[in-house]
Amino acid sequence: MEERTRQPGSGSIPGGDRRLPVGAEVMPSGGVQFRVWAPRPRRVEVMLQSGPGAPGSVPLKAEPDGYYAGLAPSAAAGTRYLLRLGGPDGPRVPDPASRYQPEGLDGPSEVVDPSAARWTDRNWRGIRSPEGQVLYELHVGTFTPEGTWAAATAQLARLAELGVTVLEVMPVAEFAGEFGWGYDGVLLFAPYHGYGTPDDFRRFVDRAHALGLAVILDVVYNHMGPGCELYKQFSNEFFSTMHKTEWGDSPNFDGPGSESVRAFILANAGYWIDEFHLDGMRIDGTQALFDTSPEHILGAVARRMREAAGGRRVLAVGENESQHVRLLRDAGRGGLGLDMVWSDDFHHAARVALTGLREAYFGDYLGTPQEQISALKHGWLYQGQWNLRQGKRRGTPAWEIPPWAFVNYLQNHDQVANSGRGERLHDRTTRGRLRAVTAMLLLGPGTPLLFQGQEYADPAPFLYFSDQKPGLAEEFDRGRKESLAQFASLATDEMKRLLPFPADPDVFHRSKLDPSARARSPHAEVEQMHRDLLRLRREDPTIRAGVCPGAVDGAVLGPEAFALRWFDPEGAGEDRLMLVNLGIELGLKVAAEPLLAPPEDRGWRVIWSSEDPRYGGCGTPGPETEEHNWRLQGHSAVVLAPAPLPAEVDEHRDPVGTP
């Protein structure tokens, strides 16, 4: 990063010439201003621990609405500090708005000057358009053996060449312990110290932009993890007294004192976009963001993200188990303004088809060809039907939502880990079936998401790991086993004994990717298939246009077989046809299905096959012959394009009207 720039601040906010309403900020005129929301203690002091200006203390002056602020003239970037609450004998704690915790959650906070960052992405304009993207979910701690931003940065060129366009980074807010998934973050402004410095994160984003990759961050605003008791020392109103999530206390978005809590969260949303040049966010568990305010916090977060981005286009993605279409409608229609939502329905239906297992929530699906077709065409499969397992209606009608607004996936952090052993999908189904469904994912009209290592079938598992103190570690283990007990096979005594202990460091290390596998068979063949499919998605104009509403249709051909057809948006007859068969070989002597018909005066030719020997397949005979009509290989998928008819066939075709 060579070009030194200071990004625009967050506009008119409490606290004067500041980027954020809270935290430690290096002032243009010198020194560091500290500001904190602390209506509970009667006094707040900044204790300078080391670095410029240390040792020393700075009493903060009370401001309206429970804020305290003050200037430390001799402090600067690199100063480490703690906040002392209530007087000389009061607790010394980190800053809730700390930008960096070099010694971990319980250590001192460090002053960071974001204006000193040297960016080279002046010409980066963000995500041009939400449609047509390919997402890639990664966990910084396990994405490379080193588990750092620097090591991850070295892998970005490979992902860009593969065809990925958006990196979705799992949560990085500072959490307790030496390893974890990140969904139990505590200090929301501080990138986890174990991955490197904040500037290492900035260099990661800067390099991604240079390669044409956008970066979005997974954020958790519905709860905080162990250590969140810190906030209760500053305020009795930070957490809600009316709402509680299954993971812990819910931030107070709509009760007394919620104005400052909302300001804290909205500042965080703008902070990541502004100071790290991020291109959007994936917001975890939105169904657990409880808010009865006139403007729901989720809509406010989406708005704040876009304000902070200025002229850049950012991507707002949500996870929503209840499948509520309000998330995807704009504010003018009473919506919350998100661009995309994850689609569990696609994953669950495909997973049943691939493995035959229907435990727990998979029991809501049959894995039929019609489910695959409907998930691709309409996004959610549950749009208001009664769900017997849940004992209520699930989902809302989403007919007006374009298919690209649904993020489809075959693997993600939750679903891989929920297998108990952390097995990836290539260990739970046949290679042929997985190649076929991968084609459906990567060429389909939804927005595809790959989970780290999926593109080459990495042999490492991805397990649930969370480093917690004794006592709490056992509590996390019990909670994990209770959650997995919904799967009958994992509730057996034999499997309970085999489930890994989340706080075991070996569980974390076993989950790290093995990059050396990429060069070995069959991993290299799997990566080649992903590269070819993403190139076809990107370069074939008909498939590329499939993200538009109504551009793709489908038909069931057999018990485990179906067809998908992409219609040429130019009307020139350059349609594409995909045949997927997840069962045994299927012959169609009767082909009374119009989607199988080629464009007028043309036939079909194979342009891609999951049985290509380069992918480990066994070759592909033409699926349509005059002798057999249609023949669909078992556990396979082919993509067809129109082709001229042989001359001898064309000579025998009678023109319309010939007697």
Half-sphere exposure of 256 (CA within 13 A, CB side): 6
The whole-number pLDDT of residue 9 equals 35
Please say if the pLDDT value at position 16 is more than 70. no
Residues marked active site are found at 284, 319
Q: What is the pLDDT of residue 648?
A: 60
Residue 40 has pLDDT above 90, yes or no: yes
| 169 contacts: CB under 8 Å, gap ≥ 6 | 138, 140, 215, 216, 217, 218
User: Which tens digit of pLDDT belongs to each residue from 174-218?
Assistant: 999 999 999 999 999 999 999 999 999 999 999 999 999 999 999
Chain mean position to CA 584: 35
Predicted model pTM: 0.95
Q: What is the pLDDT of residue 2?
A: 47
Contact at 8 Å (CB) between 227 and 203?
no
| pLDDT(12) > 60 | no
Going from the N-terminus, what domains does the chain have, and what CATH number goes with each?
Answer: 3-119 (2.60.40.10), 135-462+517-527 (3.20.20.80), 548-651 (2.60.40.1180)
To the nearest 10 degrees (0 to 180), the angle between helices 369-378 and 344-355 is 160
| Percent of the chain predicted with pLDDT > 90 | 91
Identify the band that residue 48 occupies on the pLDDT scale cut at 50, 70 and 90: very high
Confidence at 659, pLDDT banded by 50, 70, 90: very low
**Phi, psi of 190, rounded to the nearest 5 degrees:** -105, 110
CA atoms within 13 A on the CB side of 191: 22
The helix/strand/coil state of 4 is: strand
The arithmetic mean of pLDDT across residues 121-144, rounded, is: 96
- The candidate with the shortest Cα–Cα distance to 140, out of 102, 168, 118, 162, is 168
Q: What sign has the CA pseudo-torsion 191, 459, 344, 478?
A: negative
- Rounded (10°) CA dihedral 262, 299, 18, 58: 20
The pLDDT score that the predictor gives to residue 654 is 53
* E strand map for 39-129: 44-50, 56-59, 61-62, 67-72, 80-85, 92-93, 109-110, 118-119
Which of these, 322, 327, 357, 354, lies nearest to 341 by C-alpha position?
Answer: 327
Residue 354 has pLDDT above 60, yes or no: yes
Taking all residues of the chain, what is their mean pLDDT, rounded to a whole number? 94
User: 406 in helix, strand or coil?
Assistant: strand
Q: What tens digit of pLDDT does each residue of 415-467 get?
A: 999 998 999 999 999 999 999 999 999 999 999 999 999 999 999 999 999 99
